[in-house]
Amino acid sequence: MMEGGKQYCADSVAVVTGAGGTLCSRIAVDLAAKGAKVVLVGRTREKLEKTAAAIAEAGGVSRIEPGDVTDEKVVQAIAERVGLEWGPCRYLVNGAGGNNVKAMPTRLRFSEADYAPTADFAKDRGFFDIDMEAFRSVLEINTLGTVIPSRIFGLQMARAGGGVILNFASMNTYRPLTRVAPYAMSKAAIANWTMFFAQYMAPAKVRVNAVAPGFMVNERSKQYLMTPDGGLSARGEQVMRHTPAGRFGEADDLLGCVNWLLDDSASAFVTGITVPVDGGFLASAGV
């Protein structure tokens, strides 16, 4: 939104976790283009450097803060450095998250094979074969990886007079898609957490919402939605049959919704909601 020629987030501090990923790197670049000073948080410095380079090329301002968002001490240290050097966080985008193939069965339904341990974990595994440490790690990154930054930066916002937090939900928030039980559990939890924290932080003038991307094109999704030659995999075909828009989403498809939810002049009375950006996937029963 433009206000007297000035963007809503100009000269404010925006923290983006998972800023090396396809979706959140684009959000970070967009916020920087609007004049925000963007803090890029993620586990892999090399990925963050690519995002920082894109921001610098466009004339924006950013800083790289590598770290694990499930480590409270690490996030607290980042918040203190940013607060001291740049000022308090005004916008927090909780984009860090992920899945783990070791927590994903290859078989979709219970069968006689579930009674015995799998002979080849890489190619054939049921739910009872999956690695529970991997299961736990998925829950942790997607839940605590949102809660911890929200606690730390949310308190910083409250002390500064307000702010906006944007969480990342998923199509799994609404429907537990096959093979991704821990991911689905954690993304369902994000919608619940968003509502809880929104009502808790309302007196502090901190709004909390979430966006639920549909099937977006990124490096991870290409592995299961597409074939090596760029065609659709069997799973990709299933998704496409349930997507009225007839295509996968791109990172830019999120920007309108993200900016609306972050902009106090556009969504001042909006808090505690999760907005699907999915090409109609949730509206389609497939029949």
pLDDT in tens, 40-72: 999 999 999 999 999 999 999 999 999 999 999
Mean pLDDT of 225-235: 85
DSSP letter assigned to residue 230: S
> What per-residue confidence (pLDDT) applies to 5?
59
Mean pLDDT of 87-103: 97
Rounded Cα distance, 250 and 240, in Å:
14
Residue 183 designated active-site: yes
| Share of residues in the chain with pLDDT > 90 (%) | 87
Rounded Cα distance, 165 and 197, in Å:
10
Give the confidence band of 12 by pLDDT, cuts at 50, 70, 90.
Answer: very high
Q: CA of 215: how far to CAs of 164, 183, 187, 245, 272, in Å?
A: 25, 14, 14, 11, 23
Rounded Cα distance, 153 and 148, in Å:
9
Torsion of CA 90, 72, 213, 190, to 10 degrees: -100
3-class DSSP state for residue 109? coil
Give the confidence band of 101 by pLDDT, cuts at 50, 70, 90.
Answer: very high
Phi first, then psi: what are they for 206, rounded to 5°?
-115, 115
Give the confidence band of 137 by pLDDT, cuts at 50, 70, 90.
Answer: very high
Phi first, then psi: what are they for 92, rounded to 5°?
-120, 120
| Share of residues in the chain with pLDDT > 70 (%) | 98
Rounded Cα distance, 162 and 156, in Å:
9
> What per-residue confidence (pLDDT) applies to 119?
84
* Domain 2-103+134-283 homologous superfamily, CATH: NAD(P)-binding Rossmann-like Domain (3.40.50.720)
CA angle, residues 27, 33, 38, in degrees to nearest 5: 60
Q: Residue 3 pLDDT more than 80? A: no
> What per-residue confidence (pLDDT) applies to 45?
97
> What per-residue confidence (pLDDT) applies to 1?
38
Give the confidence band of 11 by pLDDT, cuts at 50, 70, 90.
Answer: very high
65 near 153, Cβ under 8 Å? Answer: no
Q: Which of 8, 91, 174, 183 is catalytic?
A: 183
State if pTM tops 0.85. Answer: yes
Mean pLDDT of 273-283: 97
Q: Residue 4 pLDDT more than 60? A: no
